[in-house]
Structure 1
Amino acid sequence: MLEVLGLDQPAEALYIILVDNPPMAVGELCRRTGIEPDAAVAALVRLEDGGLISRLTGSPPLYTALPPEHALEVLLLARERDIHKVRALTGQLTERHREARRSRDSTALIEVVTGRDGVARCGQQLFKRAERELRGIDAPPYAQATDGERVSSATAVAGRDVRSRFIHARHTLSMPGVVARLEVDITAGEEVRFLPEAPMKLIIADDQAALIPLLATPQVLDACILVRPSALLDALSTLFESLWAQAQPYMPGRPVPIGPNEFVSDEERRIVSLLAMGMSDEAISRQLGVGHRTVQRRVQALLGRLGATSRFQAGVLAAGRGWWQLDQERADGPLAASRGRAPISP
């Protein structure tokens, strides 16, 4: 979860161990986390440079976690400043649109699209236009054409080798049916990650066009800005890649043997993944269609199996033990030609 602050998995795992324990040497940290010594030393240097831990003198040196309420707040403020800078661009677009209206032709860099039907059609055109990759931030409200057709990439990219990556706000996991829909998308080849909050709605088709709301927080999606190749499009692309690097993957995958004496079921992987997202037992129960008490029992069993003292630590330890390992073809290879998204909107 601390990936949103720029920490990779080894650094996050080491930091959690140091938060829960007294000062430790590198050898003990490696034993508890299973991280190789060279990787652990490099991660500890990053944590120390980030002001999250301190190295104590001695032989061997010991490492201790600094108070999280101060250390993490500094990193949070830095990320918030980055997001606010890009958000400020949206407030300037209305003025730029007035200039663009004077020469509204096919070469205009910015175009305002109005009306629910117009927004929905424009989003669908972006999906169909993509030749290499679709990228987006999925957040409400959603557009829908007047004839009831939802903006969807499922049919737009079917039969074409188009990569699809989308970021979602974590709170959407509590909405009915979302987990099941996302797992269908992931199985079809969609790459999905989560942030605590989605800063804005966004669709980018290749590096040729992007669609964002005219207002920062619209109540109804009836006005959007179509951005063609320009410095603004480059900024939106950079924003997406920055958020993608910080976002947390949701990868339940399929049940595979992790080791000679360990096997993780599909349901166990789902539960641990949702725990790491910060979901409550009640929300997990609704998403998986399992009784609340059943979820509670399975959560406690998983905590014991992982040797975790907290729900978040369970997610960290499970990831470290390879419970979310995807097969190489899905993780690195070209996406299947039949990939597609369940209905979404710009």
Structure 2
Amino acid sequence: MYRALLIHPDWNMADIQRHVGVADEEIRASLDRLTKVSLLRSSATAEQFVPVNPQVGLGPLLDEIKAELDERQAKLSRAQATVATLASEYTSARVQAGAEGVERLNGVENVRARLTELSQQARAEVRAFMPGGVLSSAALEACRPLDQHNLDRGVRMQTVYLDSVRNDAATVDYATWFAARGGQTRTVPSLPMRLILCDRSVAVIPVNEEASREGAFVIRLKSVVAALDELFDLVWERATPLGEAPAIDGDEPSERDLALLKMLEDGLTDEGVGRKLGVSIRTVRRLMADLLKRLNAQSRFQAGVEAARRGWL
């Protein structure tokens, strides 16, 4: 009916009934609905109606829908965060209850001692995710003797750091030394967790990623270790060898862009994003500003919509 009135704005009720071919009651109900959503307004002649520009008439309704969607998205993010927290607590409770194939290590010193033991016992490979900021020169030097011992034994060693370590001379020097002896180092914009894998049979993960002092779990459950190995393989394939610049394509999202968008989708704060990327809050805000500019977006919500439209998500 709205389209008919766009083409024939001079039609009255009789014309509409004659040409549209519906009952008088249905016509009146439809006119009432169109008037209610501001697509029609009454003319000086009571029996005629003037179509309103849909962009003008439906603008407030679309704004209302968008506001509702924003609120639902915020609720979804909060709900996802709650579910993740509960799932972590559930898993922790089950493990601490004494699940077979899981060992709980309490305290940083116990974790370090167990990691050294596992690394020395490795026969074929040791692979690791190393999230967080850059390591101190002292920490890197502490790793050197054990890494040297394993590499001399022919153990394959692969380590994934955050891209932020590329700006740290000590880490780059260590990676150069590591590579010269057969070790492999790559970087990615973000890592899901701290992880040590030995011989595809043992995995070490923190009890709480945000508080290393709470200890770690040593996991020997085959299905869990296999899943973590698969995760490492997926991250390793997309990581960039240290010494090479991450590829940037002007028409496609970079790994860093995708990581930022995923964190926005997960509802992380700037502080949370900074911890994941191993950078300062100031750097996070600069990266976010660059991403919004690239997507021609005025807000982070709009950036997410535009990224989805482009098929980045």
Please report the TM-score for the alignment, with normalisation by the length of structure 2: 0.45
Choose between structure 1 and 2: higher helix proportion.
Answer: 2
Bigger RCO (CA 8 Å, 6+ sep): 1
Larger Rg: 2
